Amino acid sequence: MKKFIYIIFALITSLALVSCGSNSTTASFSSPNAKVAVSQAAAPKVTVQSVLAAADKGKYREGELLVKFKSGVAVKTAASLHQAMGAAVERRFAAVPNLERVKLAAGMPVKDAIVRYMQDPSVEYAEPNYLRYPKDSVPNDLYFNPQQWALSNIGAFAGGTAGADIKMPQAWDFARGSRGVVVAVIDSGVDLNHPDLVNNIWKNGGETSCVDGIDNDNNGFIDDCVGWNFADGNNDPTDNLGHGTHVAGIIGAMGNNGMGIAGVMWNTSIMPLKFITDFGPDVCGPGADFCGSVADEVAAIQYAMNNGAKVINASFGAGGYSQTEFDAINAANSAGVLFIAAAGNGTLDSLGDNNDLTPVYPANYNLPNIISVAATDQNDRRATFSNFGPNTVHVAAPGVYILSTVPSTGVSMSFSSMCTDSFVAGYDFCAGTSMAAPHVAGLAGLLESYYGQFTPAQVRATILRYVDVLPTLQGWIQTGGRINAYRAVTSLLPPDGLSASAQSSGAIKLSWTDMATGESGYKIERKAGSGDFVQIAEVAANTTSYSDSGLSASTTYTYRVRAFNTIPADSLYSNEAAATTSAGGSDGTNGGGGCSVGGRLNGPSAFGDTMVMLAPLFAVFVMSRLRRRKK
Ligand code: CA
Ligand code: CA
């Protein structure tokens, strides 16, 4: 009779395994393949200590384990062990014989499960189901390494320091921008036909003809197909200085196109709005050929607001508070447009000035949509020429030896003192806070494209919060940090792999994988049956499980989880996961995930609970045997 019960138990177990997608039919794990594997390579011996040490160094999925049994171990032996652990087999692998992907009992820590599995003599090893990520996205643009040190510093350019950069390859694993995000470059125009920019120039879809002399989209500008020239009052915002083209390339030169450089955004829509031109010294003052007026600038801001720009780059400035300029940027704030402004370059002995004492406008206006940007060099030091200001300058970004696009004829004399004029046609190294600001504008656009649910205030706060604080910047600017695109982009990734598992008639356990890097915690939402989701709890940062109790018996509950931070902002939701509580009256268990057989953590009671759950099946089986015997 004992043997009879055992056979029934094994049968039921294998049924449960099959229902989980297992293809188990053999009585024991095959050994021929294992022999081949042994003869091929002598793998280093895996121990509990080595597995636990490795687990500390990698990210892995919660609630799962990879368990490899020794060759020749009976399937039923393995099944009993899983039963005792309250775990269930989800998959086997032809490529790695005797390996099983196991779903752990809800709430069981992966490391505890490793220790317990590896204590069993039938187990060769048990290890976490590690997460793997695409390799850092290094683009194939010709001059990416080592010239674009600002985006990825390998320490091989101009005596620079590896890692003194804004972490673009890591950020590009997640976000590369979008043509739908429009960044206005209010500057000296843009080389519209530059081969590394041409596909990322904004196109006014409403202006159906560019040459019919008609304002087709009725926006007040005739034939404005690619922006506007406010300096000359025409539809051609072609760059005659080189400055605006350099700025545009930093924000959005076409990335990974095998040519030239990569912009912070590989894909974007650069809206060229020209207001600076060669008015000459009569207008601009002694020794100055190029300048622009606030009236033309304000007209450009208004155009950007009215035609879909989310971000404005303003790599210009000077003294002289202008109420008009303030009001226009304030209007852009109301319209949800960010305004990224260069903090300015020093005038006295070319050393940087303190903007707290000597204001530079527009960077210095106290408006919530402005980010004032200082410049750092290839060693993460404040550029000597860069203005600073503990209260008025917010972040820093690279602004020395910045390689970007310029017109094929090079930059005008008026800008050449800031550039090297020593690189190939169409590209040049230039310096200035004018070059720092567009790194921030590009990051703002990247965040706009990736976090569609963010408000501009949330984008700005994310950029400011996730800087790398540097000793060379602390005390000099408000955040004391240089922007870090990777930290900003990954700050609120949604939780992954949410699973729900019923523990009893009144409790369900949730587990998920923490993907965010800067969260304050997680918000948990639940709905019963076909009801609406309601938030039921907030749990702390880095939490990966939650026990929901006080539930009704025999009821299906669905859950979703999202991260939140102090920006304040919420991530997108995780997947939804559902579980059904068991029938009331006892502490019967229920494998809510659809695969787990037992629900309890302790071996003996898990076995007992399993038998309770299987009792009805068992009774039916015995009855049928008895009936057959009678016949
Ligand atoms: Ca028009
Ligand atoms: Ca390119």
Whether 194 is catalytic is: no
- Grade residue 19 by pLDDT with cuts at 50, 70 and 90: very low
Distance 189 CA to ligand 2 centre (A): 19
Given a cut of 90, whether residue 77 has pLDDT beyond it is yes
Percent of the chain's residues with pLDDT above 90: 72
Residue 284, CA distances (Å) to 215, 236, 281, 323 in order:
32, 22, 5, 21
Q: How high is the pLDDT of residue 175?
A: 94
* pLDDT tens digits for range 112-160: 999 999 999 999 999 999 877 655 788 999 999 999 999 999 999 999 9
Mean pLDDT over residues 394-403, rounded?
Answer: 97
**Is 434 in the active site?**
yes
The candidate with the shortest Cα–Cα distance to 443, out of 586, 338, 296, 550, is 338
- Determine contact, residues 195/406, Cβ cutoff 8 Å: no
- 560 has pLDDT over 70: yes
Per-residue pLDDT, averaged over 171-190, amounts to 96
Q: What is the mean pLDDT of residues 191-202?
A: 98
pLDDT value at position 597? 30
8 A C-beta contact, residue 322 and residue 361: yes
Cα 98 to Cα 630: distance, rounded to the nearest angstrom? 41
Q: Is residue 34's pLDDT more than 90?
A: no
Q: What does the mean pLDDT of the chain come to?
A: 86
Q: Give 62's pLDDT tier (boundaries 50, 70, 90).
A: confident
Inter-residue contact 105 to 42 (CB < 8 Å): no
> What residue type is assigned to position 132 of the chain?
R
Distance (angstroms) between ligand 1 centre and the Cα of 273 equals: 14
Q: Are 239 and 274 in contact (CB under 8 A)?
A: yes
Catalytic position from the list 22, 82, 141, 243: 243
Residue 43 has a pLDDT of 62
Q: Which ligand is nearest to the CA of 227?
A: 1
H-assigned helices in 164-267: 168-172, 243-252
Which member of 187, 196, 224, 428 is catalytic?
A: 187
Distance CA 87, CA 560 (A): 23
Phi, psi of 457 (to 5 degrees): -65, -35
Q: How far is the CA of 271 from the centre of ligand 1 (A)?
A: 14
Residues around ligand 2, an ion, CB closer than 5 A: 141, 196, 254, 257, 259-260
- 8 A C-beta contact, residue 578 and residue 557: yes
Residue 58 pLDDT class (50, 70, 90 cuts): confident
Which residue in 319, 321, 328 sits closest to 273, CA to CA? 328
Q: What is the DSSP letter of 610?
A: H
Higher pLDDT: 31 or 95? It is 95
Task: Give the model's pLDDT for residue 132.
Answer: 73
| Beta strands, E only, 421-576 | 427-430, 467-469, 481-483, 496-502, 508-513, 521-528, 534-540, 545-548, 556-565, 569-570
CA distances from 262 to 150, 266, 375, 429 (A): 11, 6, 20, 14
User: What is the number of the ligand closest to the CA of 254?
Assistant: 2
Give the Å distance between the CA of 224 and the centre of ligand 1. 5
Residue 35 clears pLDDT 80, i.e. is over it? no
Find the 186 Cα to ligand 1 centroid distance in Å. Answer: 18
**Contact of 100 with 123, CB cutoff 8 Å:** no
**DSSP letter (8 states) at residue 35:** H
Using CA of residue 500, residue 501, residue 502, residue 507, what is the dihedral sign? negative
Q: Which helix (H) or strand (E) segment is 269 a member of?
A: strand 267-274
Q: How far apart are CA 456 and CA 461, in angstroms?
A: 9
3-state secondary structure of 267: strand
Task: Extract the tokens encoding 219.
Answer: 């926006």
Higher-confidence position of 498 and 600: 498
Tokens standing for 321? 């508070």
Ligand nearest to the CA of residue 303, numbered in listed order:
1
CA-angle at 276, arms to 210 and 437, nearest 5°: 100
Query: Looking at the predicted structure, is the pLDDT value of residue 411 above 50?
Result: yes
Q: What is the mean pLDDT of residues 55-67?
A: 86
pLDDT of residue 1: 43
Please enumerate in sequence order all residues whose Cβ is within 8 A of that of 478, keeping only pairs 6 or more positions apart, or say none.
389, 390, 391, 392, 393, 394, 395, 464
Instruction: Tell me if 412 sits within 8 A of 242, measured CB to CB.
Output: yes
Distance, CA of 165 to CA of 142 (rounded, Å): 19
**Cα of 142 to ligand 2 centre, how many Å?**
8
Q: For residue 488, what pLDDT is reported? A: 96
Among 150-159, 184-193, 411-420, 570-579, the range scoring the smallest mean pLDDT is 411-420
pLDDT band at 60 (very low <50, low <70, confident <90, very high): confident
**SS3 state at 452:** coil
Question: Where does 168-490 sit in CATH, by number?
Answer: 3.40.50.200
Neighbouring C-alpha atoms within 13 Å toward the C-beta of 328 = 22
What's residue 603's pLDDT? 33
187 is catalytic: yes
| Bridge partners (DSSP) listed for residue 535 | 525
What's the confidence (pLDDT) of residue 585? 64
Ligand nearest to the CA of 204: 1
List strand residue ranges (DSSP E) for 360-437, in order: 370-376, 395-398, 402-405, 427-430
Q: For position 570, what pLDDT does the model report?
A: 93
- Residue 95's pLDDT band, with cuts at 50, 70 and 90, is confident
Q: Which residues, by Cβ under 5 Å, contact ligand 1, an ion? A: 207, 215, 217, 219, 221, 224
Question: Which among 186, 190, 154 is positioned nearest to 169, based on CA atoms?
Answer: 154
Ligand closest to 142 (CA) is 2
pLDDT (tens digit, 9 = 90+) per residue, 422-479? 788 999 999 999 999 999 999 999 999 999 889 999 999 999 999 999 999 999 999 9
Residue that wins the pLDDT comparison between 412 and 5: 412
Contact 582, 552 (CB under 8 A): no
CA-CA distance, 20 to 167, in Å (whole number)? 42
- Ligand closest to 253 (CA) is 2
Cα 337 to middle of ligand 1, angstroms:
21
Q: What are the residue ranges of helices labelled H in 74-214?
A: 75-85, 110-119, 168-172
Q: Would you say 214 and 224 are in contact if contact means Cβ atoms under 8 Å apart? A: no
Spatial CA neighbour of 307 closest among 203, 163, 167, 193: 203
Catalytic residue among 372, 434, 449, 505: 434
How many residues appear in the chain? 631
Query: How remote is the CA of residue 201 from the centroid of ligand 1, in Å?
Result: 16
CA distances from 58 to 5, 225, 623 (A): 43, 50, 51
Which of 14-28, 228-242, 421-435 comes out lowest in average pLDDT? 14-28
Report the percentage of the chain scoring pLDDT > 70: 85
Distance CA 509, CA 500 (A): 6
pLDDT tens by residue, 575-613: 999 999 999 764 444 333 333 333 333 333 333 333 334
CA 260 to ligand 2 center in whole angstroms:
5
User: Which helix (H) or strand (E) segment is 65 a member of?
Assistant: strand 64-69
| 575 exposure class (CB count in 10 Å sphere: 0-12, 13-18, 19+) | middle
Choice among 37-46, 104-113, 216-225, 451-460 with the minimum mean pLDDT: 37-46
CATH no. of 496-580: 2.60.40.10
Tell me the CA–centroid distance for residue 139 and ligand 1, in Å: 36
Is the pTM value of this prediction over 0.85?
Answer: no
Residue 615 predicted with pLDDT over 80: no
Contacts 24+ apart (CB under 8 A), 115-123: 115/48, 115/52, 116/85, 117/65, 117/67, 117/81, 117/85, 118/47, 118/48, 118/51, 119/48, 120/81, 122/69, 122/70, 122/73, 122/77, 122/78, 122/81, 123/67, 123/68, 123/69, 123/70, 123/81
At residue 3, the pLDDT reads 46
What average pLDDT does this structure show over 492-499? 91
Instruction: Give mean pLDDT, residues 1-10.
Output: 44
* Rounded distance from Cα 444 to ligand 2 centre (Å): 20
- The mean-pLDDT minimum among 304-308, 476-480, 565-569 falls in 565-569
Alpha helices in 277-410 (DSSP H): 281-284, 294-306, 323-334
Q: How far apart are CA 347 and CA 342, in angstroms?
A: 14
**Would you tell me which CATH number, out of the four given (3.40.50.12780, 3.90.850.10, 3.20.20.300, 3.30.70.80), belongs to the domain 22-132?**
3.30.70.80
State the ligand closest to the CA atom of 141. Answer: 2
Ligand 1 center–CA 225 separation, angstroms: 7
328-344 pLDDT, tens per residue? 999 999 999 999 999 99
Report pLDDT digits (tens) over 235-287.
999 999 999 999 999 999 999 999 999 999 999 999 999 999 999 999 999 98
Q: Coil, strand, or helix at residue 179?
A: strand
Q: How far is the CA of 307 from the centre of ligand 1 (A)?
A: 10
